[in-house]
Amino acid sequence: MDLKEVQNSDQNLRHPWETVRFEVMYKLLCSTVDWNKITTVLDVGSGDLYVCRQLALKHPHLQIFAIDNSYGNISENQKTEWVKDSNIQCFESLDELPEIKTDLILMMDVLEHIQEDELFLSQLVAEAMVTPNTQLFITVPAYQALFTAHDHYLGHFRRYQKETLLSLLKQSGLEVQKQGAFFVSLLLIRFLQKLKEVLLGAKEQQGLNAQQFRPSSSRFIERMLRLDFYKTQIFEKIGLSLPGLSLYAICRKPAP
């Protein structure tokens, strides 16, 4: 979860979009990653460490480095509570990292927050810790036409088309192994939100808040989003790519 949204949420509850997004990430990576051979993970834009903690629970052997430039605004007690009993270390910037070689880099809904996204990604790819054996898993929100007040609230500079994302990855020195979209069912909901803003004007937005759903409602939404993802995967197996509210890419830096 974005740290801007933490104040709106009970950390014992998770928004169904957030929980299923982690499941989607994990299932997509399982097609290209041997978790037994991965030892070091870097999560760039790690927020409140939900993704890091879920990975640590699944794979206790992992050494996980969490990077978020907002950690300076979080108390040490809070960070200690988030990372207790796990091998997660928190840093405010890449410059603070020890010398490591990373097997996997996660950048989940990060690039849209960065004004010069190509410069940032190119500099990351050029780091010594990123080798041709390093895999990068990247997600971004899709369709600039669906940019709403919620994007403004979160500090997004843009949303992405498939073509602009692939061009960005190529220009940053990455080769795409796998790419696609997920959460096709959420496109209609976002379209209706956008239409409402166009007709009635944008209102002040807040972030994700799991407390707006009853437990039964959250479970229902989670099931629907899982079915949505499985449907997308089935279509991909027969050569049909469905659109979605989120785009993803799994990439590597090419060997010299």
The one-digit pLDDT tens for each residue of the chain (256 residues) are 555 555 444 455 678 889 999 999 999 999 899 999 999 999 999 988 999 999 999 999 999 999 998 887 777 777 677 777 678 998 999 999 988 999 999 999 999 999 999 999 999 999 999 999 999 999 999 999 999 998 998 899 999 999 999 999 999 999 999 999 999 999 999 999 999 999 988 776 655 554 455 667 888 899 999 999 999 999 998 988 999 999 999 999 998 8
The HSE-up count of residue 221 (CA atoms within 13 Å, CB side) is 19
Hey, what's the torsion of the CAs at 167, 176, 1, 99, to 10 degrees? -110
What pLDDT does residue 4 have? 58
Burial of 165 (0-12, 13-18, 19+ CB in 10 A): buried
Say how far apart CA 114 and CA 245 lie, in whole Å: 19
What pLDDT does residue 204 have? 61
- Is 211:10 a contact under the CB 8 Å cutoff? yes
Could you tell me which of 95, 97, 112 has the C-alpha nearest to residue 63? 97
What pLDDT does residue 207 have? 54
Could you tell me which of 252, 248, 208 has the C-alpha nearest to residue 25? 248
Helices (H), the chain: 3-6, 16-30, 50-58, 76-83, 117-126, 149-154, 162-171, 186-200, 215-237
Tokens in use for 23?
A: 């499941």
Per the structure, the complete domain to which residue 61 belongs is given by 3-252
Three-class SS of residue 211?
helix
The count of structural domains within the chain is 1
pTM: 0.90
**CATH number for 187:** 3.40.50.150
Tokens in use for 172?
A: 């940053």
Say how far apart CA 133 and CA 146 lie, in whole Å: 35
